[in-house]
Amino acid sequence: MTERVTLVEVGPRDGLQNEARQIPASDKIALVDLLSATGLTRIEVTSFVSPRWVPQLADAAEVMAGIARRPGVVYSALTPNLRGYQAARASGADAVAVFAAASESFSRRNINAGIDESLARFAPVIDAARADGIPVRGYVSCVTECPYEGAVAPAAVADVAHRLIAMGAGEVSLGETLGRATPEQVDAMLAAVLDEVPVDRLAGHFHDTAGRALENIDVALAHGLRVFDAAAGGLGGCPYAPGAAGNVATEAVARFLAQRGFGTGLDEGGLERAADFARSLREDHDGLATDPA
């Protein structure tokens, strides 16, 4: 039997959050609906964060209300604090996520809190979600390199991942934020994390700045990871990681996995249609591509 790999679609949230022009809620809804028709079982739709910090996602409740929910698809949202969690729950989010970092400087730039403070801030979110029976995912960004501190020690990544699991997160997604990691760096990082966290509680999240995302996914597969984040059309970038390109493209990962003999259950044609539409959202009103970095 073909071994299954799950792709978590993060384009509607992580992919669009850094776009310069305001994308209409109707287009975000259309993107999610296209993605829902591809066989994806997990889609991260939006983030319930202050519009002051991420204006692009100020329409989170509107988007969640407008999507056509398909049976068997988990629609999730990023929730940085208890207020965000409560708004996500009111919107009908099936799962939520919190966002930590393995770099002190990046954590402060990204969420205005150090690592310890950020985890303390997430504790009531995770406790509330567990009480409500809502799955919680923890992100750890900068798992190999930080734009402000340089190389990140694998032990630091393992520590944050372990702490998130101990707090009650069901899964931790390891984010290679800058997209420049070598397979050797990813191998060392995963070896450290796997000493602290079971492989079935981990996901890989790779950006593709240096064109090595698929190589790094191959390393993660060899370590036993079977969940990976991706964004249709390669949407993405990070406002706090200058020069970082978008997430690895969902359609590219699906093809790569098929070539490796893994099953994803995804419709290739449907993914290409969703990717084409996702890429079109990068264009401004004059038809000029915006800078995703």
Q: Which residues are catalytic?
A: 238
Whole-angstrom distance between the N-terminal and C-terminal Cα of the chain?
41
Nearest to 36 by CA among 277, 270, 281: 270
The whole-angstrom separation of Cα 212 and Cα 186 is 11
Cα 147 from Cα 186, distance rounded (Å):
17
Strand 95-101 relative to strand 6-9: parallel, antiparallel, unpaired?
Answer: unpaired
Phi, psi at residue 141, to the nearest 5°? -95, 165
Which letter does DSSP use for residue 51 in this model?
A: T
Buried b (16+ CB within 10 A) or exposed e, 117-154: ebbebbeebbebbeeeebbbbbbbbbbbbbbeeeebeb
**CA-to-CA dists, residue 189 to 29, 144, 270, 274, angstroms:** 36, 7, 34, 32
Cα(204)–Cα(156) distance, integer angstroms? 17
* Residue (of 38, 162, 59, 155) closest to 103 by Cα position: 155
C-alpha to C-alpha distance for 207 and 247, rounded to whole angstroms: 4
